[in-house]
Amino acid sequence: MNLLVVFTALLAGSLAPLNSTMIVVALPQILADLGASLTWGSWVIVSYLVAMAAMQPLGGSLGDRFGRKRLVILGLAFFLVSSLAAALATSVQAVIAARTAQAISGAITLPNGSALVRTLVPRELQGRALGLIGTGIGAAAAFGPPLGGLITDAFGWRWIFLANVFVVLPAIVLALRLPRSVVRAGPGRFDLLGGVLLLVALVGLSLAATVWRVPGVPVTGPVVLALAGGAAAVWFWRHARTSPAPILDLGLFARRGFLPAGLTVMFSNMTMYAIFLAVPLFVAQVLGWPPREVGLLLSALSVPMLLLGPVAGWFADRYGTRLPALAGCVVAVVGVVLFTFVGADWSRGDLLLPLITVGVGMGLSSAPVHTAALQAARHEEAGRAAGLFSTMRYVGSISCSAGIAAVLGASGAVAEYRLLFVLLVAAAAVAVLTSSRLPASLVPPAAAARAGEA
């Protein structure tokens, strides 16, 4: 296994999920310090998720054409600059702009890091390699709240952005040492129209699902946004089916294992990210815990993911992706079912059991699902496959953010949280169904190549 490639992809891929969840605990302090209302808080979160979802196919496509090493280094440098801008922001609007720039940077680095593994690591070791990377991505998202709580309590919210320096600089050093042969120029024109349509569709539909909660927004606003986003989505679908080199290759959905893997990660991430957001809100609103305790509590979810990810990746290399992914999704359902009994009298122990159970489930399923998606693609399209897979991951995050905004009110009633977790049980159950459609056994490399050429 090429450890240089794996650790470069691990560090580059961890930045985006770390920054998507680390800010959750610090958000109240950011809004108070900058004199912004709670309404702006949703934009700080949603703008990041939408930019990540919309731009990852673009980042992967650019890497396929102009070189993955080059794009990883460029994305890391841009992430460093945007993090410094966020730390120096003097208004909430500046924070949103800087976080959007962070998301664009992450959308460049994350898919190209995974694509490097797909092309440079032997096929029989890719499950273990992607298990480490998938574990790092999941653990970064899970460790974000506890890390954000500790940093915010000790140094203030600006340091949650400055702390990125300690990840970005080592990642750049490793990326510069990658072999020059990683850089591969690709043919074809860049699909600018497809990129614009995808961005309009995601932004329009995401805003339509959340903006209706903003005071003062007219009733027609969400309707107009939904119509614009839906029209752009239909146009994009037709364009992608006829374009010779679309920014998002819909043909990947026909490959064995890719569609079930994409749907599994979408519904699994919807479940996991909703827990990241809802549990801190619950313990703060209902139980009255301080940020430090809120963040540390969520480590009960991240530690099992960290420990089980590489094991599940090894199992996928030996026996195929379906069994560990399916087992993990079933365990995650059990954990979410436990959350449906949440109450105002819950203790720390009551919260730990469902968090650990969900963490075990996500740790078992993450690496096999990631492996199935990337092994469905040929080497020259690994960037596009990684970008599309990551986009589906973030569509799940955006959907859960919209769902939380729709279900939870300002009162923080326990009944609202229970309703939210009931809905999450349905999402986790869908992930069980889709994971059952993953390949039951490994596809020999020759057969995979023939399937890709068919």
pLDDT digits (tens, 9 = 90+) for 402-437: 777 678 765 568 888 899 999 999 999 999 999 999
Give residue-wise pLDDT tens across range 202-231.
778 777 766 665 556 677 878 888 899 899
Comparing C-alpha atoms, which of 256, 415, 230, 258 is closest to residue 341?
A: 415
Asked if residue 25 has pLDDT above 90, the reply is: no
Task: Enumerate the domain spans of the chain.
Answer: 3-182+247-453, 191-246
User: What is the pLDDT averaged over residues 23-40?
Assistant: 78
Comparing C-alpha atoms, which of 333, 351, 317 is closest to residue 268?
A: 333
User: What is the pLDDT averaged over residues 99-105?
Assistant: 90
Asked if residue 196 has pLDDT above 50, the reply is: yes
Categorise residue 156: left if φ over 0, alpha if ψ from -120 to 50, beta otherwise: left
Q: Quote the pLDDT of residue 182.
A: 44
Asked if residue 185 has pLDDT above 70, the reply is: no
Asked if residue 444 has pLDDT above 60, the reply is: no
CA 70 to chain centre: 22
**Mean pLDDT, all residues of the chain:** 81
Asked if residue 337 has pLDDT above 90, the reply is: yes
Give the global pTM: 0.72
User: What is the pLDDT averaged over residues 1-11?
Assistant: 78
Asked if residue 447 has pLDDT above 60, the reply is: no
Give the Cα separation of 29 and 227 in Å (integer): 36
Q: Which has more confidence, 350 or 127? A: 350
For residues 183 and 383, the answer to whether their CB atoms sit within 8 Å is no
Residues 6+ apart with CB under 8 A from 103: 16, 47, 48, 49, 50, 51, 52, 55
Q: Quote the pLDDT of residue 451.
A: 42
Comparing C-alpha atoms, which of 377, 312, 321, 317 is closest to residue 119?
A: 377
For residues 324 and 368, the answer to whether their CB atoms sit within 8 Å is yes
- Between the CA of residue 218 and those of 201, 205, 289, what are the distances in Å? 21, 16, 36
Q: Which has more confidence, 117 or 75? A: 75
Under the banding of pLDDT at 50, 70 and 90, the label for residue 370 is confident
Give the Cα separation of 216 and 213 in Å (integer): 9
Q: Quote the pLDDT of residue 256.
A: 83
Tokens in use for 308? Answer: 């089980």
Expressed in angstroms, the distance from the first to the final Cα of the chain is 29
Q: Quote the pLDDT of residue 423.
A: 93
User: What is the pLDDT averaged over residues 174-188?
Assistant: 63
For residues 329 and 267, the answer to whether their CB atoms sit within 8 Å is no
How many C-beta neighbours within 10 Å does residue 283 have? 19
Q: Does domain 3-182+247-453 have CATH number 3.40.630.30?
A: no
For residues 441 and 250, the answer to whether their CB atoms sit within 8 Å is no
Q: Quote the pLDDT of residue 317.
A: 78
Asked if residue 11 has pLDDT above 80, the reply is: yes
Instruction: Report percent pLDDT > 70 for the chain.
Output: 85
Give residue-wise pLDDT tens across range 434-443.
999 998 765 5
Q: State whether residue 438 is helix, strand or coil.
A: coil
Q: Which has more confidence, 317 or 361? A: 361
Asked if residue 1 has pLDDT above 60, the reply is: no
Under the banding of pLDDT at 50, 70 and 90, the label for residue 339 is very high
Q: State whether residue 347 is helix, strand or coil.
A: coil
Q: Quote the pLDDT of residue 94.
A: 93
* Secondary-structure percent of the chain, ordered helix, strand, coil, rounded to 5: 80, 0, 20
Comparing C-alpha atoms, which of 95, 127, 100, 98 is closest to residue 6?
A: 127
Q: Quote the pLDDT of residue 23.
A: 84
